[in-house]
Amino acid sequence: MAKVNALDGPALVAVADNVSLRAIPAYRLLAARIDERHSILLKDTLTMEMATGGADDILTVLLRAATRIGALICDGIGDAILVRCEPGAGAALRLSYNILQGSGARIFKTDYVACPSCGRTLFNLQSTTQKIREATGHLKGVRIAVMGCIVNGPGEMADADFGYVGGAPNKINLYVGKTAVKFNIPEAEAVDRLIDLINEHGKWVDPPEKLAMVED
Q: Is the pLDDT of residue 157 over 90?
A: no
81 by DSSP, 3-state: which?
Answer: strand
Lowest mean pLDDT among 17-21, 76-80, 97-101, 170-174: 97-101
Q: If you average pLDDT over every residue of the chain, what do you get?
A: 86
* The length of the chain, given as a count of residues: 216
Q: Are 205 and 136 in contact (CB under 8 A)?
A: no
Percent of the chain with pLDDT over 70: 89
- How high is the pLDDT of residue 55? 54
CA–CA distances in Å: residue 170 to residues 119, 122, 188: 15, 7, 8
Residue 121 buriedness (CB in 10 A; 0-12 / 13-18 / 19+): middle
- How high is the pLDDT of residue 211? 47
d(CA 67, CA 62) in angstroms, rounded, equals 8
Give the global pTM. Answer: 0.64
Percent of the chain with pLDDT over 90: 51
Q: Is the pLDDT of residue 87 over 90?
A: no
DSSP letter at 75 equals: T
The domain 111-209 is placed in CATH, from the list 3.30.413.10, 1.10.800.10, 3.40.50.2300, 3.50.30.50, at 3.30.413.10
Q: What is the DSSP string of 164-208?
A: EEEEETTEEEEEETTEEEEEEEEHHHHHHHHHHHHHHTT-----H
Residue 170 buriedness (CB in 10 A; 0-12 / 13-18 / 19+): middle
> What are the two backbone dihedrals, phi and then psi, of residue 5, each rounded to the nearest 5 degrees?
-65, -20
**Would you kindly state where each structural domain of the chain is located, as residue ranges?**
2-102, 111-209
- How high is the pLDDT of residue 176? 94
CA-based nearest residue to 137, from 204, 77, 182: 204
